[in-house]
Structure 1
Amino acid sequence: MTLAQLIAQAREALATALTARQQEQDALVALRSDETLTEDAVRDQVARRDAADAEVTRRQDALAELETEQAREVELAALQARTVPAAIRAPAYDQVARVGAEERTYRADQDRRGQGFERDVAAAFLGDYEARDRLARHMQEERVDRPEVAQRAAGTGAFTGLVVPQYLTELYAPATAALRPFADAISRHDLPAQGMSVNISRITTATSAALQASENTSVSNTDIDDTLLTIPVQTIAGQQTLSRQAIERGAGVEPIVLKDLFRRYATTLDNTLINQATTGLAASATTITYTSGSPTVVAAYPQIIAGLAGVEGAMLDQASGENIVVMHSRRWYWLQNGLSSTWPLISQPGIAAQMGGTNLANTYGSGVRGVLPNGTPVVVDNNVVTNLGAGTNQDEIYVVDRNECHLWEDSNAPMYIRAEQPAAASLGVLMVVYGYAAYTHSRYSHAQKITGTGLVAPAFTGA
């Protein structure tokens, strides 16, 4: 196994360890929001989280050691390519250019345009050790055939046509995307294999029970009735046509474009869940208006508590207790900037009374970002719009029971079509990414949103 393969293996192991650690952390957050938790349960979960932390550290150290070793090998290979062996020491057989007995590494009669040399220059830069060996042999051959190359000093400016520019393809900067934090936080189901709608029966007229007026008189009687909730299956798709030249002669063009299409798909799905007219979270939530000409964190926090009260008031015995607060990143950082000497009168499990909540220091899109003073998890999602209100500078905060926001997706979504025939006459390759999804926040109409002038673009003043 090569060093590059070992490094790839170590990176996969580190990614697995990070995922396991995040799962333990999420479990700890969920446990702390449980009113029936015990100190032993929390202590055990903390121990599991710490063990996952230790595994991440171990994997980090192993990867760092391999990368350091690789960097040293690259350094030595470069040094070897620059160094002329001493005359008193016989070079190894495969380190000698044997003119007349062996063919040159790069031959003009076989590759007039020097494409093999250019490919090896690019491959060597990306870590291909065989390409580096071929380039090193070529330099030795040049020293034998043209010793003046090694004896004279000249900078790259003297070889404008021979110094090949390099592109750091592994460090390309993808277009930013809001992705799907909210979609990943709610209740997800497999989309049925057929049909373009999903139907749910909702009991909208309940039975009744009442005090009997007197003996042998009629008791309360109400006929139960339901209403069908019909949820459409929607299609999300995007396409891109690439020239065959870009695919065949470019470096990683197709996977880069495909990855970007996947990111646009995820962002559109999440944006639809939040902002679609009539059925999106913003449209279906009950409004709590926070009006203020000088908004403060201390004044905004009670509005969120009012939202939580509204969720439980709507859900009653069907409330799962797994509530989340969804907000834009600017609102999350504004909440963190608030300073106050006022503490909650009721303490919460796992959160000190002096704390205004807990920041879990997770990166964007990696799940729960923090916990509010009452223990409610926060999901940060930049698909929350920030152009609302008369001044087009307001955002909203959403409070939901995560188990009552439902998303149906195909387990294989998004799908990928690569079609060469439609644009064959122009040497084009059509790439299409698509998928089907259905969602509802209205199985129980419970969602709450805080909106109003108190949520204008935040000023980070510590208040």
Structure 2
Amino acid sequence: MTLAQLIAQLRGQMATKLTERNGFAVQLAELRAQDNPDQDKVAELRRSKDGLDAELDQMQVRVADLEAELARDDAADRLAREVNPGAPRPAYDQVARVGTEERTYRPDVDPRGVRFARDVASAFLGEYGAQARLARHMEEETVERSVAVTGAQDRAVGTGAQEQRAVGTGAFAGLVVPQYLVDLFAPMATAGRPFADACRPHELPPTGMTVNLGRGTTGTSVDDQSAENANVSETDYDDSLLTFPVRTAAGQQTVSRQGVDRGVNIDDTIIEDLYKRYHANVDNKLLNLASVGLTNVATAVTYTDATPTVEELYPKTIEALAGVEGALLDVASGENIAVMHSRRWYWLQNAMSTKWPIISQPGIIEKTIGANYAERYGSGVRGILPNGTPVIVDNNIATNLGVNTNEDEIYVGDKNEFHLWEDPAAPLLIRAEHTKAASLGVLLVVYGYYAFTHTRYAHARKVAGTGLIPPTFTGV
């Protein structure tokens, strides 16, 4: 069997396995779209699909190696015939040839160069076959454009050198293919979910659209007995029910069939953006949702100043933390956090001072106001305040608050009393092709369920007021 026949055989096997693999993918998508999918079946389909992916990867590598070897053999054969036209054909190739060697990209087969352009794009995505075909094409160009130095012709010297011409790329508008750096595509930036990731996580119950939990409202009593045999203190314990809804976050996008079929990673890019927007929405609602968001349930500690300074702001955060502890008492976990906008955190870092807290804290270098951990946005704790309170930076915090709609806020509280219930499978993806078939569209829907509360114990505080207007970054 020749190399060309072996490559054709492998490609046929790959086509069969690819069809089987895509069948598993469709079954998996349909199963995941169900309300209560069979998780064992989901796992079985994923194993089958992953196994075929691994086989296809190995076969793709082998085909690429064979194509590269065939290209080298063909180039060596052509070069041998040019150097010694009467030489016998090499034993490695038993395929009969008549006339010239067939090119990888031929204008009679592909007059518009679509196959070449598609291979250029695919090569950037790591497709081995496309890379091998482009390499073979370059070898063909090198060999066929190589010429000897003759007469007054301005040509390159030496075997294998390319023909030189005094002409620029502007003369070949139809041949100079624009390069699209797909791997450097710049996705949309989002504020993410820094606060949501800092909340106390819970798995959302599998059924129901409300979550209920009890909380004590009237405690028992203990007092000194007034006299021997007198009745001792008695107060009936009472509780109330805290109820909050299961919320549905969802977004959709319809993509044209042409974009899916002929574009590069269009549907994957949109799905990734929908996922990011889903998480940013959850975080935004935890902070800003009417009536129940953190900004609406936290007790305000007002900081009013037309020319605010860090030295004035810091005592307000300590006052807020004192309020948190006064509300929680012995049920406090001790894991307090401060949540602020990035503009406020950098303003704190910008400050210079000759004053420092009287009481030092572990982990804080002497005569510094806190510490910055130099972590990137959304990676967790960014630093700590002078009293050791960790800081979460979250740009879902509103910056249009206050009378002049230009203030932000700083939130403090016990992170274990910021509760977030989420479906462990969320967000889910629906990829529907039949509903938009009449307009050749593919509908992509991302959705998920979540619930939250900050008021199991009403403890959170916020520093707010005109002292949190847009910061001014100045030196000493």
Paired residues in the alignment total 380
Measured after TM superposition, the shift of residue 410 of structure 1 is 0.3
Alignment match of 2:336 (pick from 323, 326, 329)? 323
**Structure-1 separation of matches of 2:228 and 2:392:** 56
**Structure-2 separation of matches of 1:408 and 1:140:** 60
CA contact (8 A) 1:358 1:373 kept: yes
Measured after TM superposition, the shift of residue 121 of structure 1 is 2.1
Structure 1 position 252 matched with structure 2 position 265: yes
Partner amino acid, structure 1, of 2:163: Q
Structure 1 position 280 matched with structure 2 position 279: no
Q: What's 2:10 paired with?
A: none
Q: What's 1:298 paired with?
A: 311
Q: What's 2:212 paired with?
A: 199
Going from structure 1 to structure 2, the CA distance change for 1:137 and 1:412 (only over 3 Å counts) comes to: same
Structure 1 position 134 matched with structure 2 position 147: no
Alignment match of 1:151 (pick from 138, 157, 163)? 163
**Structure-1 separation of matches of 2:459 and 2:341:** 21
For 1:19-34, list aligned pairs within 5 A. Answer: none
**Structure-2 separation of matches of 1:345 and 1:320:** 25
3-state DSSP of counterpart to 2:425? coil
Structure 1 range deviating more: 445-454 or 117-126:
117-126
**Structure-2 separation of matches of 1:147 and 1:461:** 65
Going from structure 1 to structure 2, the CA distance change for 1:99 and 1:170 (only over 3 Å counts) comes to: farther
Measured after TM superposition, the shift of residue 403 of structure 1 is 0.2
Structure 1 position 439 matched with structure 2 position 438: no
Q: What's 1:378 paired with?
A: 391
Q: What's 1:349 paired with?
A: 362
Q: What's 2:376 paired with?
A: 363
CA contact (8 A) 1:344 1:353 kept: no
**Structure-2 separation of matches of 1:255 and 1:438:** 28
Q: What's 1:76 paired with?
A: none
Going from structure 1 to structure 2, the CA distance change for 1:144 and 1:364 (only over 3 Å counts) comes to: closer
**Structure-2 separation of matches of 1:162 and 1:329:** 49
**Structure-2 separation of matches of 1:275 and 1:306:** 23
Length-normalised TM-score, structure 2: 0.75
Partner amino acid, structure 1, of 2:327: A
Q: Which has the larger radius of gyration?
A: 2
Measured after TM superposition, the shift of residue 147 of structure 1 is 5.9
Going from structure 1 to structure 2, the CA distance change for 1:351 and 1:141 (only over 3 Å counts) comes to: closer
Structure 1 position 308 matched with structure 2 position 321: yes
**Structure-2 separation of matches of 1:327 and 1:172:** 30
Partner amino acid, structure 2, of 1:103: E
Partner amino acid, structure 2, of 1:286: T
Structure 1 position 425 matched with structure 2 position 438: yes
Q: What's 2:117 paired with?
A: 118
Structure 1 position 179 matched with structure 2 position 192: yes
Measured after TM superposition, the shift of residue 131 of structure 1 is 3.0
Going from structure 1 to structure 2, the CA distance change for 1:290 and 1:462 (only over 3 Å counts) comes to: farther
Measured after TM superposition, the shift of residue 141 of structure 1 is 3.4
Q: What's 2:406 paired with?
A: 393
Structure 1 position 333 matched with structure 2 position 346: yes
**Structure-2 separation of matches of 1:420 and 1:162:** 37
Alignment match of 1:262 (pick from 261, 275, 280)? 275
Q: What's 1:62 paired with?
A: none
For 1:54-93, list aligned pairs within 5 A. Answer: none
Measured after TM superposition, the shift of residue 108 of structure 1 is 3.6
CA contact (8 A) 2:193 2:394 kept: yes
Q: What's 1:189 paired with?
A: 202
**Structure-2 separation of matches of 1:144 and 1:308:** 77
Q: What's 1:403 paired with?
A: 416
**Structure-1 separation of matches of 2:418 and 2:448:** 20
Q: Where in structure 1 are there 5+ consecutive unaligned residues? A: 1-80
Measured after TM superposition, the shift of residue 351 of structure 1 is 1.4
Length-normalised TM-score, structure 1: 0.77
Measured after TM superposition, the shift of residue 137 of structure 1 is 2.8
Measured after TM superposition, the shift of residue 122 of structure 1 is 2.2
**Structure-1 separation of matches of 2:124 and 2:422:** 42
Q: What's 1:28 paired with?
A: none
CA contact (8 A) 2:124 2:182 kept: no
Structure 1 position 452 matched with structure 2 position 459: no
**Structure-2 separation of matches of 1:210 and 1:217:** 12
Partner amino acid, structure 2, of 1:320: S
Partner amino acid, structure 1, of 2:209: M
Partner amino acid, structure 2, of 1:437: Y
- What whole-Å deviation, never above 9, does each CA across 1:254-293 have from its counterpart, x for those lacking one? 1110010011111110000000011110000001001112
- What whole-Å deviation, never above 9, does each CA across 1:71-99 have from its counterpart, x for those lacking one? xxxxxxxxxx9xx9899899x989xxx87
Alignment match of 2:245 (pick from 232, 246, 265)? 232
- What whole-Å deviation, never above 9, does each CA across 1:223-266 have from its counterpart, x for those lacking one? 11110000100000000000010011001101110010011111
3-state DSSP of counterpart to 1:227? strand
CA contact (8 A) 2:79 2:143 kept: no
Measured after TM superposition, the shift of residue 446 of structure 1 is 0.2
Partner amino acid, structure 2, of 1:161: G
